[in-house]
Structure 1
Amino acid sequence: MKAIKYLVAGALMLSIAAPTMAQDVKSQVDAITKVLVDAKGDAVAAKSQIKDFVKANKKNAEALAGLGRAFLVAKNYEQAKTYADMAMKVGKNVSAGYILRGDIASAEDDGGMAASYYEMSTQQAPQDPTAYVKYARVYQKVDADGAVAMLEKLRSVKPDYPVDAAAGYMYSSNNKLKTALQYYGKVQNINSLEDYILFDYASTAYVLEDYDKTLQLIAVGVQKYPHYSSFYRVGMYASDKVKKYEDAVNYGNKLFNTTDTIKYTANDYIYYAEALMNTGKFDEAIAAYKHIPEVDPENKETNKLISGLYVKAHRFPEAVAAMEQHITEVGENATYKELDALADIYIDEASVEGATDAVKKAAFENADKVYARMVEKYDYAATYAVWKRALMNHQINSDVKVGRALPYYQQFISLVEPKAEKTASELNKLAIAYTYLAVHYIQNDKKDEAKAWAHKLAEIRPDDPNAQQILSIK
């Protein structure tokens, strides 16, 4: 067979390939597996247990394959091969040994050898569907038609096997999600799917942004597998995407209160907080954000997220405090964008409907102070920050005759005028600055200064009415 180099997701392959063993044998294998894993695959650690186990099961192919799988889990591939070979010898028509040998080859990154053993299993034990599915998954990357043909062969051997679901899972495992969803869509009875297959179906639909299908599948999943926490996770994410925030909160509540061992992520708390915020539960949303450092200690966005939440709640002092804390935490890695976000909080405060003139003035003054910090700390952002200072000061006092924004427009001009090439945005801002200065001086009866700035304005905007009017004054 043509050599295939393909990395198979080992842990997942193991999860669907465990041999069907008697419960007492399985318990012994589990105990040996734990010892071997703790000993990093050293067979000496379980020597006595292994000896007794082999003696009692020397003609039991599934038991021997189970022992070999214990070594596979512990990453002792040579010992795993030994017991896989023993299993194949005593059980020529039992799939367990062949499948184990294929899984070992997969773990060793030898897809060609893995496919060979899986194919051998389909020939020696044609009624076991596992080998067909594994062969297809390994082989799909180099020969999709051959992989599908193997699954169709499975359909002919076991007509009741959910081949379309297996094909969907195969394509999903190889990141061919659109094809996976097409096959999954052929499944007639969704309720018949195993938990990990149903979850993969829902996850595939979610990644492809078919959120309605995702939620339909999740509803089945949580009903049939209530302790499979990942259903609640994707349900929360998908509900948030379609703005079903109450549903997202309900899924979030279940996600954080299920009994199995799931490792939470920063995104879990971010989506949960988003849903809580959109259902008016601001304090609970903030509490959710505060869990992020527990699951992602390197994440420096927590206080920034909390700040944004306070802004939405119009709790501006808390928003400012959280953003300042974020800036402190980021430290030397902070850019001008952190200060820009801080200034935006004050601008949002001034923009709230019903804000008094005093509140607006104070907010714009605070924003101006932030932009002053930006000028001082970040040379590369000085032009941007000076322009924003001009805008803030004009908001504080819009009387052009008084000219509160005058020094900042002048500073902006001094930074931009020397550039040999100017962007359209810079030219537009220069025109605004020139206009401000020309009008300021004409209103203060300083005709010569006004005409000088009007002349500069006319150079970049020849038809500007303000320029023409001031230049026409005798």
Structure 2
Amino acid sequence: MKTIKYLFLGALLFGYSATAMAQTDNKSIIDAISIVIKENPANAEAQVKEVVKKNKKNIEVLCGIGRAYLDIEDTQKARQYADMAMKVRGGAQHALPHILLGDIYAVTDDGGNASMEYEQAIIFDKMNPEPYRKYAQINSKVSPEASAAKLEELRKVRPDYPVDVINATIYMRANNLAKAVEYYDKVNKADMESSDLVNYSLCEFLSSNFEKSREIASFGAEKFPRHPALNRLVFFNSTNLKDFDTALTYADRLFNRSDSAKITSTDYLYYGHAYNGKQDYDKAIEMFRKSIEINPDAKSDVLDAMSNIANAYREKGDYNNAITEHRNYLGKLEKVKNTDYAALAQIYLDWGAGLTGSEQTAKLEDANKVYDEMIQKFADDPNTLVFAYNKKTQIDNMLDPNVEKFLALPDYTKLIEIIEAMPEKSNTDRNRLVTAYHYLAHYNLVNKNESVANEYWNKILSIDPTYAPALDALGRK
């Protein structure tokens, strides 16, 4: 097949008479020699020379050869043919050599010279949108405003050209999503290509405007039903909007009915969230595990999946696995937060809520031990210590509901010590002190230490002068 193709190319390039070659349009010549250059650059020189010999004054063909070399990243050869085209009579006043030179400068990261060449091309061909567009693209990050202004010049001479879409793309690349959306909003969605609809929807998605993002992506998915990015955006947005039925429908379209879909760990992660939302916890766990398996180096996705696997087990009442998975999650974290320990303690509390007797007691004690871990881990953070000791007192009171053993005494004492030492106290802190002081006052009354009890009643009144139990105890009512 390759031999036949090269025979055809040879016929096209060499087999015509001068008259026949003159009748062959430039595009056919450029397409043919471009294939030779791209597929066999090492052996192309003889054929290129033959084409150049017959087209040495043809600016379009010379630039086409230069562009073919640029496409294979041979900037030296590309520059050679751009310069050759410039030297042809009228070449320096023709747009094509300047566009080619601009592209050569662009790929070598010389944005200044590229911009100048595109400006020259515009001077010589004001109706050609290509140099406007390329000028705008190369300046999009440095000065999106200048890019937009250049495209407004194009709009004046070519009102038919989709300037707003290009402006939107430029601002999107500059990470100015609001400005990108402003331009997209000017364009009729029916006139947009699939890539434009993807970018439009993505701008809204990244701005957390999930409803509008879904509306745009849904429109696109109806027009391009097998487009993976559009199906993905409807899927993701629907998950974020907690419309899990629609999310699962479009997840199926992404995974099973899209063309050339490259499935990512994030796709499986969202699939897990959608199944979680439908309370199909087994499928959710399967998807979360698949997310980890497909890309174990995607740290953020892996941690999200691990956390949600533990949560799914907790929701389905499989507390053993929930605890195991949450411990695995804690072990993977580079920096554990106090809320991560609180979540683990909550699993034990949820487990204990469904038990009675000694089994319930064991789970409450396990929860208390988790808060002990938190206290040890965050020993230098008074706010976390207050939170943990307060939670421990609640669990202590569940273990000693009739306050017969005063199990919460050590934790209330510690709670008081920490809060009293804090230079600034919130209303919540003061309310916690009132509860702790009351507990210690009651403890001292039971143990015949009335004077100490009265000290605590007075401490309460210094916070809340209307606190009835303290007023009653001190006979002030």
TM-score (norm: length of structure 2): 0.77
Q: How does 1:16-415 map to 2 (within 5 A)?
A: 24-25=32-33, 27-31=35-39, 46=41, 48-52=42-46, 54-55=48-49, 57-58=51-52, 59=55, 60-61=61-62, 63-72=64-73, 77-86=75-84, 92=91, 97-126=97-126, 128-138=128-138, 141-143=144-146, 146-156=149-159, 159=160, 161-188=161-188, 190-257=189-256, 258-260=258-260, 262=262, 264=264, 266-293=265-292, 294-299=294-299, 301=303, 302-330=305-333, 333-349=335-351, 355-358=354-357, 361-380=361-380, 381-415=384-418
State the Cα deviation string for residues 124-173 of structure 1 (Å, max 9, x = none): 455543322222344562536632422313524xx3x3333233323333
What SS does the aligned partner of 2:402 have? coil
Amino acid at match of 1:241: N
**Alpha carbons of 1:216 and 1:426: their partners in 2 closer, same or farther (altered >3 Å)?**
closer
Partners of 1:451 and 1:471 within 8 A in 2: yes
Q: For structure 2, which runs of at least 5 residues remain unmatched after alignment? A: 1-25, 56-60
Distance between the aligned counterparts of 1:94 and 1:348, measured in 2? 77
How far does residue 438 in structure 1 lie from its aligned partner after superposition? Answer: 1.1
Partner of 1:454: 457
**Alpha carbons of 1:419 and 1:128: their partners in 2 closer, same or farther (altered >3 Å)?**
closer
Distance between the aligned counterparts of 2:373 and 2:261, measured in 1? 47
**Alpha carbons of 1:218 and 1:383: their partners in 2 closer, same or farther (altered >3 Å)?**
closer
Distance between the aligned counterparts of 2:336 and 2:356, measured in 1? 33
Partner of 1:40: none
Partners of 1:137 and 1:173 within 8 A in 2: no
**Alpha carbons of 1:459 and 1:370: their partners in 2 closer, same or farther (altered >3 Å)?**
same
TM-score (norm: length of structure 1): 0.78
Partners of 1:67 and 1:83 within 8 A in 2: no
Distance between the aligned counterparts of 1:202 and 1:183, measured in 2? 13
Q: Which has the higher contact order (CA 8 A, sep 6+)?
A: 1
Amino acid at match of 1:103: D
How far does residue 394 in structure 1 lie from its aligned partner after superposition? Answer: 1.1
How far does residue 433 in structure 1 lie from its aligned partner after superposition? Answer: 0.7
Distance between the aligned counterparts of 2:223 and 2:144, measured in 1? 32
How far does residue 435 in structure 1 lie from its aligned partner after superposition? Answer: 0.8
Partner of 1:10: none
Distance between the aligned counterparts of 1:456 and 1:54, measured in 2? 97
Moved more, 302-311 or 415-424: 415-424
Partners of 2:164 and 2:184 within 8 A in 1: yes
What SS does the aligned partner of 2:144 have? coil
Amino acid at match of 2:205: Y
How far does residue 219 in structure 1 lie from its aligned partner after superposition? Answer: 2.9
Partners of 1:115 and 1:138 within 8 A in 2: yes
Partner of 1:8: none
How far does residue 298 in structure 1 lie from its aligned partner after superposition? Answer: 5.0
Identity %: 26
Rg: which structure is higher? 2
Tell me how many residue pairs correspond in the alignment. 429
How far does residue 383 in structure 1 lie from its aligned partner after superposition? Answer: 4.2
State the Cα deviation string for residues 244-273 of structure 1 (Å, max 9, x = none): 212212222333344426362x43332221
How far does residue 384 in structure 1 lie from its aligned partner after superposition? Answer: 3.5
Partner of 2:4: none
Q: For structure 1, which runs of at least 5 residues remain unmatched after alignment? A: 1-18, 33-45
What SS does the aligned partner of 1:379 have? coil
Distance between the aligned counterparts of 1:20 and 1:177, measured in 2? 39
Distance between the aligned counterparts of 2:155 and 2:462, measured in 1? 76
- Whether 1:465 aligns to 2:459 is no
How far does residue 370 in structure 1 lie from its aligned partner after superposition? Answer: 0.9
RMSD of aligned residue pairs (Cα, Å): 3.3
**Alpha carbons of 1:457 and 1:365: their partners in 2 closer, same or farther (altered >3 Å)?**
same
What SS does the aligned partner of 1:291 have? helix
Distance between the aligned counterparts of 1:442 and 1:116, measured in 2? 90
